[in-house]
Structure 1
Amino acid sequence: MAWHSEAPPSARAAAMVHALQPSERQVIELVTASPTAAIEWTAQEVAERAGVGRTTVMRACQSLGYRGYPQLRVALAAELGAAQAAGGRVGPAGGEPSALDRIVHEIGETARSLVASASMLDGEAIDGAVGRIAGAQRVLVVANGLSSAVASGLAMRLSSHGRHAEFIADSLAQQISARHLSVRDVCVVVSGSGANDASLRAAAAAGAAGASVIAITSFAASALSEAADLALVIAPSGVTFRDELEHASRVSLLLFAEVLVRAVVRAAGGRAQSAHAHTLEVISEHLEGE
């Protein structure tokens, strides 16, 4: 894939975890787990510490879009420097951090990683997705598992702004509805892993119907991104892809869904503004009855 120069190593690693060979994954896990130390290592030292050959280190670096380990070291140093510049207090000097200190620190870490997560997005894919969603006759939003909440929220937010969108929870009903789409319609498939079988079947059904398939996923190399007409890759929000695998957070996808709606609203222009005004009227009437 074409990498964006501003995408930091942690975001690239998180987005490519499914595409890495096991030996390459060992290299990247080692380097991202100890970035400060890795900056000082040579490619041979990385190979010895990871228990792989030096050529594997080279392939791992190239899988992340770098020519070799020297370029990865420079990128690691840049990312580490940016994180340190933005870092703050974790706890009182010489004392154990409180629960509040830890929460504030983790919020800061998540905020910084969210900025990095957007570095994987492609401008042409974004423009194409926004235009197709705004102009489609029908929009079907599909997701299963942990991504369902993201898809449900996306459909609701689009509908509240006058861009009616459907979200169907049942996996079989998703496929049936997707197969009934047409070339004038769009199917948005949300899958963090990009490998959910039910979501993939819905994407295939939509494609067979001639509809545009737009993937919103966390990984650049996945079955879903390959099946979609447009793939919007939001890197996982964990500091490393090990964090993402352990916690399976969808916070980066939730945030992206929100800003995607705003982009569609801007593309829709006055029609969306009028619809949003009607939505606010309904909300206002509900609040008056509280």
Structure 2
Amino acid sequence: MQENVVRPAGSGPGNATAASDAGDALTATVRGLLPSLTPAAARIASLIVEDPAQVARSTISELSVLAGTSESSIVRTARALGFAGYPELRLALAASAARQAPRSTLTSGITSDDSAEEVIAKLVHTESQAVLETATQLDAGQLTGAVLAVCGGGQLHIAGVGASGLVAQDLQQKLARIGRPCHAHGDSQSALTSAVLLGEGDVFLAVSHSGESRDVLAPLRRAAAQGATTVVITNHPMSTAARLADFVLVSAGRETTFRPGAMASRISQLVVVDCLFVCVAQRTFDTSSRALRATHEALEVDRKG
């Protein structure tokens, strides 16, 4: 199992937009870490997510009052996010606030009075942000490790429950089209009974927005105990599932009005799935190309049939 380290926002290798989007990526990073923070750090993080401009304007003493915590807690939180101290965190938040300012009406959430046009604009903006933020959170090194494991030729089992189960099925369908046999499990019993039969060279991939779903954690633990390589797609890089995994692929979906976690996570998880699939197809180009041609021709014959 590899040690999963939280890097400063936008610092992951291979992130083409890292330099320009570091400020925007910071709030996505903080949002993903919220569930794993101490109560004091979580209050500071909540203020960062809700209003980065206000935090950027606040001195450490002012933020201490706003968050109801000590100045030393603020410094520790800044360092946990990869900054030397609070001044550096303020600068990054100021950059984030500057980028978000022109879009304030789109980031305010959907209300009961919004027109259909406003709903479309806000949803498109939110989902576009999920895609961009996922690009800053997805670590190229972790992705490469997961790709090599999937290409290894052993058994591949994918697990996810609810909306994450639909994402697991999407990945299974994609890989099947390029000749990579795999199984998708939408319930804990099916995943568990498959996990106990895995071994070295096999892969167990779990999809979980929270990283804390018991339906996914139990088979993930068993697969790891059996010696299989474990991969997790999650929104929370410090979650239990992430700590259990050899490779962690971080998505970045946010919750807004009328959009519970299951909806918020789906788009960002599918971005991760597409990146994984394309990299696998790229690495197995010859066999993948032949399989895609064969399956496409079969569907064309059936359609004309």
Cα deviation digits, residues 125-156 of structure 1 (max 9, x gap): 11111111122222111112331111111111
Aligned to 1:254: 270
Change in 2 beyond 3 A, CA 1:255/1:213: same
* Count of equivalent residues: 281
User: What's the offset of the Cα at 1:283?
Assistant: 2.5
State the identity %.
27
CA contact (8 A) 1:88 1:105 kept: no
CA contact (8 A) 1:234 1:253 kept: yes
One of 129, 153, 162 as aligned partner of 2:146: 129
Indicate yes or no: 2:289 matched with 1:277.
no
Indicate yes or no: 2:20 matched with 1:11.
no
Pairing of 1:143-222 with structure 2 (within 5 A): 143-222=160-239
Aligned to 2:14: none
CA contact (8 A) 2:27 2:48 kept: no
- What CA distance in whole angstroms lies between the structure 1 residues aligned with 2:270 and 2:101? 26
Root-mean-square deviation (Å): 2.4
User: What's the offset of the Cα at 1:84?
Assistant: 4.4
- What CA distance in whole angstroms lies between the structure 2 residues aligned with 1:170 and 1:119? 31
Aligned to 1:111: 128
TM-score under structure 2 normalisation? Answer: 0.84
What amino acid sits opposite 2:265 in the alignment?
S
One of 78, 83, 104 as aligned partner of 1:66: 83
Change in 2 beyond 3 A, CA 1:65/1:210: same
User: What's the offset of the Cα at 1:178?
Assistant: 1.1
Gaps of 5+ in 2: 12-17, 107-112
Gaps of 5+ in 1: 91-95
Q: What SS is found at the alignment partner of 1:18?
A: helix
Aligned to 1:268: 284
CA contact (8 A) 1:161 1:275 kept: yes
Aligned to 1:93: none
Segment drifting more, 69-78 vs 148-157: 69-78
Change in 2 beyond 3 A, CA 1:56/1:161: same
Segment drifting more, 200-209 vs 104-113: 104-113
- What CA distance in whole angstroms lies between the structure 1 residues aligned with 2:53 and 2:116? 26
User: What's the offset of the Cα at 1:225?
Assistant: 0.9
- What CA distance in whole angstroms lies between the structure 2 residues aligned with 1:112 and 1:249? 12
Indicate yes or no: 2:57 matched with 1:43.
no
CA contact (8 A) 2:150 2:156 kept: yes
- What CA distance in whole angstroms lies between the structure 2 residues aligned with 1:206 and 1:174? 10
